[in-house]
Amino acid sequence: MENSPSNTNAPYTLLPEDPFPARPLASFRRPLKVFGATVASVVFLMSLVGLIINQSPVPPAKNDHHGSDPLTSKATSFSEDAERLPTGVSEGVSAKSYPSVRDRLSYNWTNAMFSWQRTAYHFQPEKNWMNDPDGPLYYMGWYHLFYQYNPDSAVWGNITWGHAVSKDLIHWLYLPLAMVPDRWFDIGGVWTGSATLLPDGRIVMLYTGDMANSVQVQNLAYPANLSDPLLLDWVKYPDNPVIVPPAGIEYDEFRDPTTAWIGPNGTWRLLIGTKVNSTGMALIYETTNFTTYEAAPGVLHAVNGTGMWECVDFYPVSTNSSEGLETSVVGPGVKHVLKASLDDLKMDYYAIGTYDPVSDTWTPDDPEADVGIGLLVDYGRYYASKTFFDQNTGRRILWGWINETDTDYDDLAKGWASVQTIPRVVTFDNKTGSNILEWPVEEVESLRLDSTEFDDILVEAGSVVALNISSATQLDISVEFEIEGSDALEALEVPEAIIECATTQNRSTLGPFGLLVLADESLSELTPIYFHIAKSTNGSLTTLFCADETRSSKASEIFKKVYGGPVPVLNDEKFTMRLLVDHSIIESFAQGGRTVITSRVYPTEAIYGAAKLFLFNNATGVNVTASLEIWQMNSAFIHPFPLEELGGGRFSQK
Amino acid sequence: MKGFFFLTFILLFHLIVASPWAPALSLRKRVDLIKKTCKKTPYPDLCISSLRSHHIRSGATVHDLASMMLKLTLANATDTLSYMEALINQAEDPQLERPLDYCAELYIPVVKYTLPQAIVAFNKTQYGFAEYGVSDAGDQADTCENDFSKSKVSSPLGNRNKLVSELCDVAVAIIKMLQ
């Protein structure tokens, strides 16, 4: 896809003047030129007409549930792309990419720009499409990650389970595909699922199978060989499916089984998300053997108006310690988090509440901030998150899928799409009592190389300060901001509350201020990550934490918006941020992980050595001081597992 | 007559005296193999002294030396973990207990899974897997040691982490010779 600029730098030597100009030849050439120009214009006009006709979208056939045939879909020409529905919609799952009628106006990306976008230490397959993380678990010394994967293309389709292992959640090794859609009960795709580790050491994997007629069923799979620490081979239970859509539930709105937990009577329970009209809900299924199930009479919880609940997750958190809890734990000092990925909004919502194991119901602590109407797991480009209990270190760990915000066309051109976040530890925030905290696993710190410290840098109102560091595309940044004269803030004339994050050009007395990430020297491209403080209607100060992607790239086809949400800042707390910058992904954590924003950016100039880091303060009424520690981050060198070492010829490509 | 007896005596004498040379020759060969192999590892002295103090059967190959080194590494890691657990049980100072707990958490999967799996893999000639496991075990020992320096607490573990780490490096080096 190289688009080399026309070479205007070659030295041009004038030919010596021809003392005998060949006039007869010139006079012959002129009619030929005119003729050639006419033909060329006609051809051009005809092709333009042809192109215009081709561009009008063709509506998909009503009974065509498959869209493009997954087994043969390859990188398509871009006129086909302009006609295609967002991938996934025709198959009955949420659209995986933002539709763009401006696909054809793709930026002239160079190979250098595209390869810069690959992350250095985030998990992503070597190529092609990935979406939801599946069945994460720890077993016999290895962390396992499975993921929705299309082995054939950089857009969604032909979904299999990719597989990778790691000893430390950071250095991953690719393994062969764990499951492919090769049975009648998952021929349309091996969709999302979760693992349950049984007390006797067995592993049970439940996943959604998409059938040929688009019916969504739940299937059971388990490792072929529990003494294989890599869990390479998986067996699908021969009598699948084990759960089919019940009466009253739409056949294509019934998916993503959760990890199971044990109830008081010794039976296991798990949840499957669905919706009835526009009420999103979590259905409960009970089992003793994981092969036969009974639908519970009630639902765990439902919220009107939230639409389909995908990737439901349900887990306990300790309110009085930072220890993670195994999924079946209940009792005093325990609250339960219920989370759903809302299909209609493509956002992950959660709420904290109380689970009653006897009635199998869950009640939110704050009904005004119920699932789907309150807090987001991550305020950025983030979806389909899933937690697991890491019994090795006693942590509750959260995975999240980060889609691209460029176009399908760009993804096909560069050959890949999507990354996973760095796994995050989830704990209950017992200072606020009303939210969870998410923080990158400390193993990510093993990637830290050298660091640069900056103490008490003054950033005056309306100014930008450059930070002199060696390189700015792979960073772990911790920064603390203090507002000068912060004891007098209450007395300041602050305009009415800003309810939502807006672009950084919206200046007010107390903000925005923060960092400019992946910015070039001239600030022609920049991604501000910042705080913006306003006075709320009752006179107290509220803080927003935001990421403004609107000027992150000159490429026009990219979906660029301002992301973010409120973050609680308690008395005597400074404003703190931690950022993990890794090429085209930025994960930003405010106040120790109370509010998190994941961003995808695709600069065209602020790349490689041209990317810089700045502090900025667009507030009109205050100066801020900032102290930072900035670590250069190493690559995680994610690569295939050296399987040839394992011999036996078992690893022919599926 | 006398000459005959004298000759026989000389012959017998030589036979009796010469026989110790045979085992002495094979001992030198064995020691040479240890020396030759260990010289190519990052810590030759440690390698030599560890291997020499264990009985290596005659006819031992580099494969056997690697196998022995893996077992030694696991034994040392297991001892270190037991020592840590004993210290944690009697620890009164929470400042000291925290890094010890952290280290124990690193060592437990090493002793329980990583090194045993590496040994199983090694016995099946799956050298890449074995190398990866031993290498990771060494990283855990280093991380444990670094945590003490980071928390500015003097390590009560003495040289144990260093020993485990270096044994891992030696084991990896010997395994590499087989590939």
DSSP A486: G
Beta strands per DSSP E along A250-333: 254-255, 261-262, 268-276, 279-287, 294-303, 309-318
Q: Does residue A40 form part of some domain? A: no
Considering only residues B4 and A68, tell me which one the structure prediction assigns the higher pLDDT: B4
Write out pLDDT tens, residues A389-436: 999 999 999 999 999 999 999 999 999 999 999 999 999 999 999 999
Residue A63 has pLDDT above 60, yes or no: no
| Closest CB to A645 among B108, B127, B136 | B127
Position A163 in a domain: yes
- Residue B109 and residue A646: Cβ atoms within 8 Å? no
- With an 8 Å Cβ cutoff, are A141 and B114 in contact? yes
pLDDT-based confidence at residue A39 (cuts at 50, 70, 90)? low
Q: Do A141 and B128 touch (CB under 8 A)?
A: no
User: In the 8-state DSSP scheme, what is residue A229?
Assistant: T
Confidence band, pLDDT 50/70/90 cuts, at residue B153: confident
The CATH number that applies at residue A314 is 2.115.10.20
For residue A173, the chain B residues in CB contact (below 8 A) are 132
Task: Name the β-bridge partners of A314.
Answer: A338
Q: For position B152, what pLDDT does the model report?
A: 81
Residues A194 and A275 in one domain: yes
Residues of A in Cβ contact (< 8 Å) with B127:
645
Q: Which residues of B touch A393 (CB under 8 A)?
A: 105
Q: How many Cα atoms sit within 13 Å of A415 on the Cβ side? A: 8
What is the domain extent for residue A488? 447-633
Which pLDDT does position A19 carry in this prediction?
A: 40
Please, are residues A589 and A567 in contact by the beta-carbon 8 Å criterion? no
Q: Say what the pLDDT of residue A571 is.
A: 87
* pLDDT (0 to 100) of residue A32: 57
pLDDT at A572: 86
Q: What's A482's domain CATH number? A: 2.60.120.560
Catalytic residue status for A456: no
Q: CB-based burial of residue A13 (10 Å sphere; 0-12 exposed, 13-18 middle, 19+ buried)?
A: exposed
> Which residues does chain B have within 8 Å of residue A446's beta carbon, measured at their own beta carbons?
143
User: What is the arithmetic mean of pLDDT over A623-647?
Assistant: 90
Above 70 in pLDDT, residue A512?
yes
The backbone region for A375, taken as left when phi is positive above 0, alpha when psi lies in -120 to 50, beta otherwise, is beta
d(Cα A627, Cα A293) in Å, to the nearest integer? 56
Contact B132 A647 (CB under 8 A): no
Q: What structural domains does chain B harbor?
A: 26-177 (1.20.140.40)
* Residue A56 in domain: no
Q: What average pLDDT does the segment A254-278 reach?
A: 96
Say which DSSP state A491 is in.
G
How far apart CA B111 and CA B108 sit, in angstroms, is 5
CB contact under 8 A, B112 and A446: no
Contact B125 A647 (CB under 8 A): yes
CB proximity list for B29: less than 8 A, separation 6 or greater: none
Does residue A141 sit at the B interface (CB-CB below 8 Å)?
Answer: yes
Whether residue A167 and residue B136 make contact (CB cut-off 8 A), yes or no, is yes
With a CB cutoff of 8 Å and minimum separation 6, the contacts of A254 are: A208, A216, A245, A272, A274, A283
- Asked if B136 is an interface residue toward chain A (Cβ–Cβ < 8 A), one would say yes
DSSP characters over A549-613? -TTS-S-SSS---EEEEE----TT--EEEEEEEETTEEEEEETTTTEEEEEE---SSS-GGG-EE
| Domain endpoint, select from A381, A407, A440 | A440
Query: Percent of chain A beyond pLDDT 90?
Result: 75
What tokens were used for A97?
């990419």
Which two three-digit tokens encode residue A486? 């912060």
A414 with A268, same domain: the answer is yes
Ramachandran sector of residue A548 (left: φ over 0; alpha: ψ -120 to 50; beta: rest): beta
Kindly calculate the radius of gyration of chain A based on its CA atoms and give it in whole angstroms.
27
Helix residue ranges per DSSP H, A56-133: 78-83, 111-117
Last residue of a domain, one of A392, A425, A440: A440
- B28-57 burial: b if 16+ Cβ within 10 Å, else e: eebeebbeebbeebebbebbbebbeeeebe
Domain for residue A234, yes or no? yes
Asked whether residue A113 is assigned to any structural domain, the reply reads: no
Strand order across the beta sheet in which A575-582 lies:
A448-459, A624-633, A474-483, A575-582, A585-590, A595-600
> What are all long-range contacts of A494-498, with beta carbons under 8 Å and residues at least 24 apart?
A494/A533, A494/A534, A494/A535, A494/A541, A494/A621, A495/A534, A495/A535, A496/A534, A496/A535, A496/A537, A497/A534, A497/A535, A497/A536, A497/A537, A497/A542, A498/A532, A498/A534, A498/A544
- ipTM of this complex prediction, to 2 decimal places: 0.72
> Would you state the structure tokens that stand for residue B153, as one six-digit string?
């607490």
The number of C-beta contacts closer than 8 angstroms across A and B is: 36
The whole-number pLDDT of residue A494 equals: 64
Question: Minimal Cα–Cα distance from A171 to chain B, Å?
Answer: 11
- The chain B residue lying nearest A393, using CA atoms, is B105
Lowest mean pLDDT among A180-194, A339-353, B88-102: B88-102
- Claim to verify: residue A271 and residue A398 sit in the same structural domain: yes
Shared domain check, A517 and A401: no
A608-637 mean pLDDT: 96
Q: Is residue A72 part of a domain?
A: no
Q: Is the pLDDT of residue A376 over 70?
A: yes
Confidence of residue A334 (pLDDT cuts 50, 70, 90): very high
Q: Does A434 touch chain B (CB under 8 A)?
A: no
- Residue A177 φ/ψ, nearest 5 degrees: -55, 140
- Residue A383 shares a structural domain with residue A502: no
Interchain pair A141, B117: CB under 8 A: yes
Q: Are residues A461 and A515 in the same domain?
A: yes
Quick one: average pLDDT of A198-213?
Answer: 96
Amino acid at A198: L
Name the residue in chain B with its Cα closest to that of A229.
B117
Instruction: Using the CB atoms, write b or e for A385-403: b if 16+ within 10 Å.
Output: bbbbbbebbebbbbbbbbb
The pLDDT assigned to A534 comes to 83
Question: Is A642 an interface residue toward B (CB < 8 Å)?
Answer: yes
Among A440, A471, A504, identify where a domain stops: A440
In terms of Cα–Cα distance, which of A151, A102, A49 is closest to A407? A102
Q: What is the pLDDT of residue A185?
A: 97
Distance, C-alpha A552 to centroid of its chain = 17
Mean pLDDT estimate for chain A = 86
A420 or A98, higher pLDDT? A420
Contact call for B113 and A141, based on CB within 8 A:
yes
Tally of structural domains, chain A: 2
Report the distance separating Cα A568 and Cα A554, nearest Å: 34
Residue A1 has pLDDT above 80, yes or no: no
Interface check for B120 against chain A (CB to CB < 8 A): the answer is: no
Alpha carbons A421 and A162: distance in angstroms, whole number: 16
Q: Are residues A504 and A428 in the same domain?
A: no
Q: What is the DSSP string of A501-559?
A: ---TT--BTTB-EEEEEEE-TT-SS-EEEEEEEEE-TTS-EEEEEEEE-TTS-S-SSS-
pLDDT in tens, A169-193: 999 999 999 999 999 999 999 999 9
| Tens of pLDDT, residues A540-577 | 788 999 999 999 999 999 999 999 999 999 988 999 99
Same domain (yes/no): A432, A454: no
Q: Which pLDDT does position A74 carry in this prediction?
A: 34
Position A525 scores a pLDDT of 97
Question: Residue A337: pLDDT band by 50, 70, 90 thresholds?
Answer: very high
Question: Per mean pLDDT, which range of A67-71, A575-579, B65-69, B120-124 is the poorest?
Answer: A67-71
- Mean pLDDT over all residues of chain B? 87
Q: Among B126, B43, B112, which residue's Cα sits nearest to residue B77?
A: B112
Instruction: Mark whether A464 and A375 lie in a shared domain.
Output: no
Q: Which residues contact B127 (CB under 8 A, 6 or more apart)?
A: A645, B121, B175, B178, B179
Residues in A closer than 8 angstroms to B129, CB to CB, are 642, 645-646
Tell me which chain A residue has its CA closest to the CA of residue B130.
Answer: A645
**Residues A251 and A383 occupy one common structural domain:** yes
Q: Please work out, in degrees rounded to the nearest 5, the angle formed at the alpha carbon of residue A91 by the alpha carbons of A223 and A123.
A: 50
Q: Quick check: is A641 in a domain?
A: no
Question: Does any CB of chain B come closer than 8 Å to the CB of residue A639?
Answer: no
| Residue at A588 is within a domain | yes
Residue A640: list chain B partners with CB under 8 A: none
Among candidate residues A320, A323, A314, the one with its CA nearest the CA of residue A281: A314
In this structure, what is the dihedral angle of CA atoms B61, B63, B67, B69, given to the nearest 10 degrees? 70
Which of A167, A175, A641 has the highest number of chain B CBs within 10 A, making it the mutation to test binding with B? A167
Residue A350 shares a structural domain with residue A430:
yes
B49 shares contact with chain A (CB less than 8 Å): no
Closest CA of chain B from A646, distance in Å:
5
The two tokens of residue A189 are: 């795709």
Among residues A18, A64, A103, A132, the one annotated as catalytic is: A132
Residue A454 and residue A426 in one domain? no
